Amino acid sequence: MKRNIAIVAGGDTSEIVVSLRSAQGIYSFIDKEKYNLYIVEMEGRRWEVQLPDGNKVPVDRNDFSFTNGTEKVVFDFAYITIHGTPGEDGRLQGYFDMLRIPYSCCGVLAAAITYDKFACNQYLKAFGVRIAESLLLRQGQSVSDEDVIEKIGLPCFIKPSLGGSSFGVTKVKTKEQIQPAVVKAFGEAEEVIVEAFMEGTELTCGCYKTKEKSVVFPPTEVVTHNEFFDYDAKYNGQVDEITPARISPELTGRVQKLTSAIYDILGCSGIIRVDYIVTAGEKLNLLEVNTTPGMTATSFIPQQVRAAGLDIKDVMTDIIENKF
């Protein structure tokens, strides 16, 4: 009997559009001969299942089920692809834990830590991971231009501590840009990071582990055509994504080893992606950890799966079956 899989997408942030694209990607990747697939859209209190005929029906939040005509369908597994709250920050994970429904990604603690970029980076710094100098601002707090220049320097990045897809991110080059950038970042989240700029090569590396195996993908080199890897670079093709990255075998091994270690330190599950900057002297610096990475056909993870000589359908099956 086929298991019923919910591909959970949407969310309550600007990343909802990206999430819905990822849902379509995952729908195309999962083996439909093994599983019954449904896309579940969540936005605020609207939880709806997309039916094959194009109609949408509400989800019963009491048991995460829906009714299709006279048939009640209860989901056996949730593939979470919400980028942002409530799917990337641990909230939805807690809901599924209480219902005893297995899901694709990290548990509550790992999701909550990694969703807060500042908290995650500071946590990993205690394990010897290199990170950029940074300041954290919470809603209602401010920072003077002088403090930014003295403690962080220019250029710098001012960005939301929560969320992704480069929404609300500004590369600040002048004193006059600091305060507008802070306001912009607070428009996306209640916490803002002021982070030192690091000159170097940007890399990203995916990883997943099951009870039987550990898989670390070939890293991708990210060469943006823009000032930084912003929304247009990520989603409108203004970037060169080179997989495998044009780096030495020794550096490739270091990237993969650190990615695997970060996975274990955080207690991750499912597929993650870790972003880095390689600065002078091949120093490897962490940018951030993504526990629900983008999964469109052109996203980094599918690229890396292909470069590793693997079939994305098999990877999806690994993720699902590992939870049973």
In a shared domain, residues 220 and 270: yes
Q: What is the total count of domains within the chain?
A: 3
- For residue 127, the SS3 value is coil
- Mind listing the pLDDT tens digit for each residue in 14-72? 788 989 999 999 999 999 999 999 999 999 999 999 998 889 999 999 999 999 988 99
The arithmetic mean of pLDDT across residues 224-241, rounded, is 59
In a shared domain, residues 173 and 121: no
In a shared domain, residues 190 and 207: no
Q: Report the binding-site residues for Mg(2+).
A: 275, 288, 290
In a shared domain, residues 251 and 160: no
**Beta carbons within 8 Å of 176's beta carbon, 6+ residues apart:** none
Q: pTM score, two decimals? A: 0.90
Last residue of a domain, one of 194, 212, 239: 194
The arithmetic mean of pLDDT across residues 274-280, rounded, is 96
299 is catalytic: yes
- Give the C-alpha separation, 18 to 177, whole Å: 28
**Beta carbons within 8 Å of 239's beta carbon, 6+ residues apart:** 222, 223, 224, 225, 226, 229, 233
19 is catalytic: no
Element (H, E) at 191: strand 191-196
Last residue of a domain, one of 179, 194, 209: 194
Q: Point out the catalytic residue in the list 22, 104, 165, 166.
A: 165
Q: Point out the catalytic residue in the list 15, 41, 188, 241.
A: 15
- Mind listing the pLDDT tens digit for each residue in 78-91? 999 998 899 999 99
Among 83, 147, 159, 172, smallest CA distance to 117 is for: 159
In a shared domain, residues 180 and 298: no
CATH code for the domain of 27: 3.40.50.20
Element (H, E) at 131: strand 130-131
The average confidence (pLDDT) of the chain is 92
In a shared domain, residues 296 and 213: yes
- Mind listing the pLDDT tens digit for each residue in 107-150? 999 999 999 989 999 999 999 999 999 999 999 899 999 999 99
In a shared domain, residues 202 and 190: no
190 is catalytic: no
In a shared domain, residues 217 and 118: yes
Task: Write down the pLDDT at residue 238.
Answer: 63
Q: Point out the catalytic residue in the list 104, 134, 269, 299.
A: 299
In a shared domain, residues 139 and 20: no
Tell me the residue range of the domain where 159 lies: 132-194
Report the chain's terminal Cα–Cα distance, integer Å.
Answer: 14
230 pLDDT band, cuts 50/70/90, is very low
Res 233 pLDDT > 50: no
